[in-house]
Amino acid sequence: MSNNLLEVKNLSKSFGGLKAVSIDLLTFQKNQLTSIIGPNGAGKTTFFDLISGFQNSDSGEIFFNGKEITNIQPHKIARFGMVRTFQLTKVFDRMTVLENLLFSGSSVKNDSFLKSFLNPPTQRNYEKELQNRAYKVMEELNIKHMANSYARELSGGQKKLLELARSIINNPDVLLLDEPLAGVNPKLAEEILSLILKLSQQGITIIMVEHNIEAVMKISDRIVVLAEGSLIAEGNPSEIRSNKKVIEAYLGSENE
Amino acid sequence: MIDQLGNGLLLGVIISVAAVALSLLYGVTRIVNFAHGEIIALGAILTLFFSGSVDSRVLFLDRFSPLGMNFVISAVFAVILCGIFGGLLELMLFRPLRRNSVGNIAVLVVTIGLSIFVRHIYLLFATGKVQNFPLELQRRETYLFFDMTPRNFKVLIVAVVVMITVGLILSYTKLGKAMRAVRDSEELANISGVNSDYIIFITWVFSSMLAGLAGIFQAIINDVRWNMGFLILLLIFAGTVLGGIGTSFGAMVGGFLIGVLVQISVGLPFMEGHVEAKNAVALAIMILILLFRPQGIFGKKERIS
């Protein structure tokens, strides 16, 4: 058994005549923190949509944990243990912070229609355990004091934290973060960055799309560079920093 | 005015059940369903078809006699068939539209077209005549401070029980929570492991069953007409908006208020001889309330950014 947790082969997706993604082979290893960078329109988010099931690919195969997950529905992929976030932060507006976590944390088989009325001891234990987990995560992310606030009342930064909390409550194998630092102030960005690092050290495999190059260079084990839908380079931060192709296609065109 | 209270309570619970169904569907799918009235009528027409006596003068398609089944069994069958009808609408019409990212306004227009189409199918099938369920006439009796027939009182009780059940399901079951989750964000529900397509399908079935039931109630209390759903559709919309769009509890209360207001206004002194204008008073009150509470009675103001 190889160390490849996620494997993408010959993946392609076009919109009209535009090739959004065209990748021959790309693998992600267990316990690594990989960042995907590339200029706007490089196909980073489309790539995320494809591997998380939100869009169907035109061709190609995606394997997760040795299982083929190409073009299967997003909720199934989430249940397999690959959880994503979105560029525009999404939270359940009409639920409190705690309810957000409890909802995302409850596994389907343990929360049946009948059980929620009958409330047998196994159900109570399960709920208790879930609640403990939710409080632990909130404590870790410093949002415990907002447990009973409605998510719609949170600020943008707080929603980012809630989104992270919700993503990790089920101990996913893989976390796909779509621009986790976009639109947050520098202090919170620092906080989120160290959190991501901590999650990575706890053994969660993280794949992150991010425009903040400094941050990416600082925390990534490995960087994947996309341009116009194709893979143009991969390697550790120092390799990427000195890669001519990358400088041409990406760093050169940006005012960093 | 007070002698209209019994009628008001009855219309109130009918509108209320129908408004919850409409609001639930809107909440989860963002579809403003103008064909809701036709699902209401379907409940009543099917019940009439199943339960009408075989040798009655009622004929469907000018040829077929009713089946003469037991009334309660007929009603149950009709509600189940309404659920199946709603489920089929989702599978064959609204899911494909959603897949192709057809906009909300276009979908709204589709529901208007669907409403007109289905309504006229009823006109062909059940004729334009006003019909009645095969139920014997009853004398009004006094309950507390209002008058109604024992049968209508039963309708009132059943409607209240149904609404409490719906409230419990929405608040405490995984299904209810999943519906609320899909309402807030379909994508987010997906990554929380919820199959949003399935939840939307169930919502269609559930909403249509409630609508059909409301139609049966309406027909027990009044009569069966091909356009009966269409006639009360605007009151249902009014109730939903009054309660606060997207809140099921609001729709229950808003729908109930609208129904009661419509009937009570019949007893106002200046309404004598102008009973047909009863909707005017209730809807004027609705507009007034919305002027002061734009988010509806139970709607919440939301953070914009």
Chain B residue nearest residue A52, CA to CA: B191
Alpha-carbon gap, residue A137 to A144, rounded angstroms: 8
Cβ distance B187 to A94 less than 8 Å, yes or no, reads no
Distance CA B5, CA B156 (A): 13
Could you give the count of Cα atoms lying within 13 Å of B123 in the half-sphere of its Cβ? 9
ipTM: 0.80
Per-residue pLDDT, averaged over A172-194, amounts to 91
Q: What is the pLDDT of residue B36?
A: 97
Is A119 an 8 Å CB contact of chain B?
Answer: no
Lowest pLDDT segment from A33-37, A246-250, B91-95, B135-139: A246-250
Question: Letter for the amino acid at A255?
Answer: N
What is the per-residue pLDDT for A116? Answer: 59
Contact list in A for residue B197 (CB cut-off 8 A) is 73
Domain count, chain B: 1
**What is the per-residue pLDDT for B214?**
97
pLDDT of residue A208: 94
Q: How far is A158 from chain B (nearest CA, A)?
A: 12
In this prediction, residue B161 carries a pLDDT of: 96
Inter-chain contact A152–B305, Cβ cutoff 8 Å?
Answer: no
Give me the mean pLDDT over the B255-270 stretch: 87
- Quick check: B97 pLDDT over 70? yes
What local confidence, expressed as pLDDT, does residue B144 receive?
Answer: 79
DSSP state of B94: I
Task: Compute the nearest-CA separation of B301 from chain A (Å).
Answer: 10
Question: B305 vs A94: CB contact, 8 Å cut-off?
Answer: no
How high is the pLDDT of residue B303? 46
Q: Report, in angstroms and rounded to the nearest whole number, the Rg of chain B calculated over CA atoms.
A: 19
Distance of alpha carbon B158 from the chain centroid: 15
Q: Specify whether the CB–CB gap between B35 and B115 falls below 8 A.
A: yes
- The radius of gyration of chain A's CA atoms, rounded to the nearest angstrom, is 19
Min Cα–Cα distance to chain B from A214, Å: 28
Residue with tokens 């606030």: A149
Residue of A54, A75, A152 lying closest to B193 (CB–CB): A75
* Distance of residue B182 Cα from the nearest chain A Cα, in angstroms: 9
Residue B178 belongs to domain spanning? 2-303
Query: Has residue A252 got a pLDDT over 60?
Result: no
Instruction: Compare CB distances from B184 to A75, A94, A112 and report the shortest one's residue.
Output: A94
Q: In what order do the strands lie in the sheet with A33-37?
A: A82-84, A174-178, A205-209, A33-37, A222-227, A230-235
Nearest CB to A90; choose among B180, B187, B196: B187
Picking from B186, B192, B202 by the largest number of A CB atoms within 10 A of its own CB, the best residue to mutate is: B192
Mutate to test the interface with B, among A92, A96, A109 (most CBs of B within 10 A): A92
| Mean pLDDT, rounded, for A208-220 | 90
**Is it the case that residue A190 has pLDDT exceeding 70?**
yes
**Interface check A83 vs B, CB under 8 A:** yes
* Max Cα–Cα distance, chain A, nearest Å: 64
Q: How far is B298 from chain A (nearest CA, A)?
A: 13
